[in-house]
Structure 1
Amino acid sequence: MDTIKTYIEMLKEYKWQIALPAVAGLLLTTFLIFSQPAKSDQTGLTDFPQTEQTSSSSELVEETSTEVSEEPSQLVVDVKGAVTEPGIYYLDAGSRVNDAVEAAGGLTSQADPKSINLAQKLSDEAVVYVASKDENISVLASMTTSSAMSQEEKNTSLVNLNTATEADLQTISGIGAKRATDIIAYREANGGFKSVDDLNNVSGIGDKTMESIRPYVTVE
């Protein structure tokens, strides 16, 4: 009994010293328990914006890459010559020469349909020129192809005025059977052509015809 009384007296005397650590431990335990969900929520909120930001950055890079690889959706072409309304026209990508001619009101009565390739695909900044009937100009697309050839290819494809047959000469636009005969007759009478300019001396070949023939002939 004396021992029990002694313990009771000690508890009464040191109750604050004993109670304070106990209360502190209880508060600490409670704080740790309730702080775990909050920490988890905070981590979740932090991760979500990072994922969304990464996804947005990837989408931005993909959209930018797509925009760079896209081709122009519109072409700007200059239509000249024997058309109803020459001028600058805006056409859809993939348009043909025929579309440009129609946009310009079509061919005039003086236009030479053989001077253009209506099926040729247009490129941005292209020039479409429709020649008149009296110009005797061959398809411009062929001239463009010829200008893109190497010098060796050009020389090979040119008709030699000093060796060409009537059939060879008639492959050139603007030279028919009568004119081919006249060219050969002049060649035989004058010992051959000294230069392409000698064609001006052939009967029936004027300045316009001369300029349309010049890109396709040579003298060797």
Structure 2
Amino acid sequence: MMMNLPRKWFVLFAAIGVISILFVWQTKGGQEQSAVKVEANSRMEERKEKTKVTEPKLQSKTIIVDTKGAVHREGIYELQSGARVKDAVEKAGGFLPEADVTKVNLAQLVQDQMMIYVPKKGEAATNGSPLSEGKIQINIATKEQLEKISGIGPRKAENIIKYREQHGPFQKIEDLLEVDGIGEKSLEKMKDEIIVH
């Protein structure tokens, strides 16, 4: 009997030890799993934060245009990049009854710092034409107006418009040298007929 007692205690302690080891192992496994979950959650939060930071960059930028002439409310208006002349005219309250709508290219893309002029019927100036010294404003001129410049045919006119759309308005006359098909000689011919605002 005396010999059996220590053996029973030994078996009991061994069982308790095995149960304790299993319990500790199970608890550690659970902690590792929850640690993995916490890490995965924090990574998802980081991704969300990065997305929030980049979202405003994806939004289209605001541009400012000056709308004048035969519109209800002349003034400076904010538009989204990619807006058309039609949108600027609508912001200005629409055309007045005496507006010559045939001389306004409503489909033209507007650019930052652009002036949109709506002429009255019988008025010579057209939207995109210069209002100073009879020179053509290259930043807002239509394809047809650009073709009136010495040395500019349909292809070069299209290249000028494409350049404006991709790079924004010309800052100086010399920027035209960046346009495909326009070199020093072409620029020399046209520089007295154009203006950059």
What does residue 156 of structure 1 align with? 189
Instruction: After TM superposition, give the deviation of residue 58 of structure 1 in Å.
Output: 2.3
Instruction: After TM superposition, give the deviation of residue 79 of structure 1 in Å.
Output: 0.9
Aligned CA distance change for structure 1 residues 120 and 32 (closer, same or farther; 3 Å): same
> Which protein has the larger Cα radius of gyration, Structure 1 or Structure 2?
1
Match of 1:37 among 13, 26, 48: 26
Normalised by the size of structure 2, how large is the TM-score? 0.53
Q: Please list the CA deviations of residues 13-57 of structure 1 after superposition, one character each: whole Å capped at 9, or x if unmatched.
A: xx78x8876654443233113333222222211111111111222
RMSD: 3.8
Q: Does 1:81 align with 2:69?
A: yes
**Counterparts of 2:104 and 2:46, CA distance in 1:** 50
> What stretches of structure 1 of length at least 5 have no aligned partner?
1-7, 159-213
What does residue 143 of structure 1 align with? 137
What does residue 206 of structure 1 align with? none
**Equivalent position amino acid for 1:215 in 2:** E
**Counterparts of 1:95 and 1:153, CA distance in 2:** 31
Aligned CA distance change for structure 1 residues 107 and 25 (closer, same or farther; 3 Å): closer
Match of 2:43 among 43, 54, 58: 54
**Counterparts of 1:71 and 1:98, CA distance in 2:** 18
- Number of residues paired by the alignment? 148
Contact 1:79 1:129 in 2 (8 A): yes
Aligned CA distance change for structure 1 residues 32 and 106 (closer, same or farther; 3 Å): closer
**Equivalent position amino acid for 2:124 in 1:** N
**Counterparts of 1:215 and 1:111, CA distance in 2:** 27
Normalised by the size of structure 1, how large is the TM-score? 0.49
**Counterparts of 2:124 and 2:188, CA distance in 1:** 22
**Counterparts of 1:109 and 1:45, CA distance in 2:** 72
Give the structure with the larger helix fraction. Answer: 1
Contact 1:80 1:129 in 2 (8 A): yes
Aligned CA distance change for structure 1 residues 54 and 106 (closer, same or farther; 3 Å): closer
Instruction: After TM superposition, give the deviation of residue 66 of structure 1 in Å.
Output: 3.9
Aligned CA distance change for structure 1 residues 126 and 26 (closer, same or farther; 3 Å): same
Secondary structure of the residue aligned to 2:137 is helix
The 5 Å alignment of 1:171-186 reads: none
Aligned CA distance change for structure 1 residues 86 and 64 (closer, same or farther; 3 Å): same
**Equivalent position amino acid for 1:68 in 2:** K
Contact 2:117 2:127 in 1 (8 A): no
> What stretches of structure 2 of length at least 5 have no aligned partner?
130-135, 140-145, 147-172, 178-183
Name the % identity: 23
**Equivalent position amino acid for 2:109 in 1:** K
What does residue 95 of structure 1 align with? 83
Contact 1:115 1:140 in 2 (8 A): no
